[in-house]
Chains A and B, each alone.
Chain A
Amino acid sequence: MDIVLDVKNLRVDLPTPNGMLHAVRGIDFQVHRGEMLCLVGESGCGKSMTSLALMGLLPRKAVRTADHMRFDGIDLQTLADREMAVLRGARLAMIFQEPMTALNPSYTLGDQLCEALRTHRKVTMAQARERAVYLLERAGVPQAAERLRQYPHQLSGGLRQRVVIAMALMCEPDLIIADEPTTALDVTIQAQILRLIRELQKEFGTAVVFITHDLGVVARIADRVAVMYAGEVVESAPVAELFARPTHPYTRGLLNCIPVRGKTLPGSRLQAIPGVVPSLVGTVAGCAFANRCSQVQPACTQTPPNVALEANHTVRCFAAAAAQEYV
């Protein structure tokens, strides 16, 4: 499989009145063609900043650095704003959390869908409309042709998110970055939208970076998972491997603290992770999870190594490194 996206040592720093906020602290990941990579983590772990850094949509004051950020062989860091704008929408598309704000309320759906294509490709309005209708139908929007004349406010939240997905696919992008696309939706609609994203991804062979905080969603849709904590990827593995052998204490803590049918005894105490996420302002030394970790050891004041286990599974942890040597 060829690699669509190859990111090495990505960092995002945001200046704040109290000092530099290190939102993303040197993360590496790769996405293969047609693969679904889930970035999972809690609020403030840097997952949304990672997606904005990839799209070149960071706040103006933010500083982005990386060893490389190759998209299909092109290093995104070397591109000027105008060159990035050519890629964005055409080969790299984004689906945001809020379908209400992602669509322009004062243009019809047809105008917005066709604009996405006509900005990047030399096609006639009729051809663009034809593709818009085709993709809306594929995205499960009923009466697609009539919908082109409607405005976003005339649609329900679920339908709007379907339109946003169709829009992301207008130019057949190689990579879609989906930032919590179903968080604002009801569970029944969420299941439909996730199924749709998965089906369309398989049909068009699109690579997807899917950002979420919901481990249930991750388990059901991911090919690979990267668990983020305090601006770092602490564990990364294929989805079945991660859920079968969660190794980083944070990953294990996350999996243990959600009540699961058949596993957790109703009414019993849940295994909460004590404490709170550390502040990422100023220098962060050693393992950021150390103050909440049950397996903390003296070495954890140093930067933990990234340990490669079997089956494409990596963990950033001293305890895992020690276990590995022991074996």
Chain B
Amino acid sequence: MTAVVGERRRVDISDLVLRYPALGPSCALVLAVVVFSLVTDTFLSLDNLSLVIEQSLVVGTLALGQTLIILTAGIDLANAAIMVFGTLLMAKLAGVGDGMTALLAGILLCAVLGSISGGLVTSLRLPPFIVTLGMLTVVAASSRIYAAGQSFPVSNGLLGLLGQRFYLFGRIEVTLGMLLGIAMFLIAWYALTRTAWGRHVYALGNDPEAARLTGIHVSRTQFSVYLIAGIIYGIAAWQALGRIPNADPNAYQTGNLDSITAVVIGGTSLFGGRGGVLGTLVGALIVSVLRSGLTQAGIDELYQDVATGLLVILAVALDQLARRRSR
């Protein structure tokens, strides 16, 4: 209580970092945009920025579900595989029936697969890493069996709806998928920060035993997170068909790791209980901005991967440092 002024200021900075985990990533995003705008002639244009957002959409939506799960100190390795299975079901059903049924069936399938992971994690208390690793293998193989080595082009209007383009103010090119994606992030942000459910998700990620002792229904909350993530993967499947109207069992093979990358770069802690969806949105955009900017600066794709990988390590290191300082 009689701390030196200099000491107090340092505590306040780490307090700021802890309190607003999206702050650092946001600065990094602005910095990256500024740098690429200066270094290349083509980066800073409405069309390119719009494309950057569009390219981050599917992984961003997957990362939204991933964020919910990581906040509970879990992880989901199966999310992209679940989404791909969803696209296959949607595409196949749309070939024989109407689009709405296909869409709802696809989302339902993803919700069911998500809740299987959730059920195994909550009722049998298995580690999420192992459960979703198993789910990844099973679901990916099931997709291939179901697709029988084929891919399915989609011509249905409803399933391709999210890829539809129009111009805001006559200049800014947007797709419906972009608007839906932003809406989903806002809803998730609201649910996490403004409702009791969100509080319980954070408390559960912080310390499940403490959460239980304060009367929070820990298993119920944990299960709900996996179920909601499953529904989000279903919507990601719809997004994916909007971007590329073709359901391919071999697509998005690194989608799970890409989504984890976006979450971690966005400042959410892999140990749970810290971070948030706005950070993930920023994280997904950072990855996309890096790809686009480095491509336009003429840098080889492999070096882009190196840059992304280093960024992940940096983000985790910063998270650890901030946490250690607060101790």
Q: Do A and B come from one complex?
A: no
